[in-house]
Every structure is written in C-alpha cells, then in structure tokens.
Amino acid sequence: MNKPKQSVDLGHFWQPPAPGTLRINIDGAYTSGHTEGSIAFICRDKSGCLQEGLTRSVQVALALQTEAQALIFALRHLLQQGKMSTSLEIDSDCLLLVESLNNQQEPPWEIRPLVYEAVDLCRQFLNLNIRFCKRETNCVADWAAKAHSNGTLSPSWAVSPPPPFLSLLISDTVAAACISFPYL
C-alpha cells in the first residue's frame, strides 16, 4: 500500500464495515496544559460487535499530537496482531490528521514526525483505508478515551462494558440497522 485512501462524509451515524472488513475508530483526549493524553482504539465487525477495545496514556503536549499517537498506536497494534492482509478501515474525527496522511495538506510541524511514522506503518498493510469521520460517528472511541483520561474506566471495560459505553455501542448498532443486537 502506498498511501491510505480517504472518504470524507460518512453521515451522522456509525456505519458497519463490509463483510470481511474490520472498522477501527480511534480518538484522543487531551486537556490543555497537561503532558499526558489518552487514546482509544475500538474495533468492530459488520454486525457492530466489539472485537477489541484498548486505551492507553501517551505523553503529548497538544491535542493534535494525541490524535496522531492514537493512529500510530492503532497501526502498531494491528501489525502486532498480524492484520497486514485484513481489510481494515480506520476512522478518525481529526480531519487535519487524515488530510496530512493523504498528502492533501502539509502536516503541521508539531505532528510532522508522527505523520511520517504513520505513513511508513501504513505501507505494511495491503488493504487499509484511513478516513475522516464526523465526531458523532466516533462517540464510542471518544467516550473510551475520555473515561480513560479521567480515571473512570475499569481495566475490564472491553470485556464487561460499563453501562454508558454499552449504551453507545447499542445505539450505533441500532442506528446502523445491523442484523443482530450483539449486546442484548
């Protein structure tokens, strides 16, 4: 893969990926003036089922760096899982990051090394699409990143989803008209 593909308007609701494809939503949470942010990785299949959910703390100085770190974490994790040949869609609500990856805009100097690292990692995937999504379609990853940031996320949150997270997953599944209700 030479560079990720991009779609801009994904509508107002999370959309399930095509059969055989995994959709990963990423997001970052950062409070101005701090040196640490939180990132989230949410992987779902065509039925909206949570395949994997991960959060981490990262050392950053800007919100934009947090978003770029979320992408790099996602790409590294997918490589470690051997997903180089899997059909993958990564959605980010950071338009500047997605446009920088797709050579539609010069990356700001604050994230330039991170964008270049992400582009190098992308080259290892055979079927990867990194897309911009509207914030409302990224609410599950947003919630997880913020909950991790404020310390309210239990270590087993992805296995035993807390009620607010579960509610967001179900809302996405219903809005996307997925065939089954995987969480009921």
Q: Looking at residue 44, which CATH number applies to its domain? A: 3.30.420.10
Asked whether residue 15 is assigned to any structural domain, the reply reads no
The answer to whether the beta carbons of residues 137 and 11 sit under 8 Å apart is yes
Of the candidates 110, 108, 122, the one whose C-alpha atom is nearest the C-alpha of residue 5 is 122
Asked whether residue 98 is assigned to any structural domain, the reply reads yes
* Structural domain count, the chain: 1
Mean pLDDT for the stretch of residues 144-155: 96
pLDDT bin (cut points 50, 70, 90) of residue 13 is: confident
Asked whether residue 43 is assigned to any structural domain, the reply reads yes
Mean pLDDT for the stretch of residues 77-84: 98
Show the beta-strand stretches assigned E in the chain: 21-30, 36-44, 50-59, 87-92, 128-132
Q: Which residue range is the domain that position 38 belongs to?
A: 21-168
Token readout for 49 is: 């089922």
Neighbours of 182 (CB within 10 A): 15
What is the torsion angle, in degrees rounded to the nearest 10, for the CA atoms of residue 184, residue 50, residue 10 and residue 136?
Answer: 70
Asked whether residue 139 is assigned to any structural domain, the reply reads yes
Asked whether residue 97 is assigned to any structural domain, the reply reads yes
Report the alpha-carbon distance of residue 53 to residue 180 in Å, rounded: 20
The answer to whether the beta carbons of residues 70 and 144 sit under 8 Å apart is no
pLDDT bin (cut points 50, 70, 90) of residue 180 is: low
Mean pLDDT for the stretch of residues 15-28: 96
Query: What's 102's DSSP letter?
Result: T
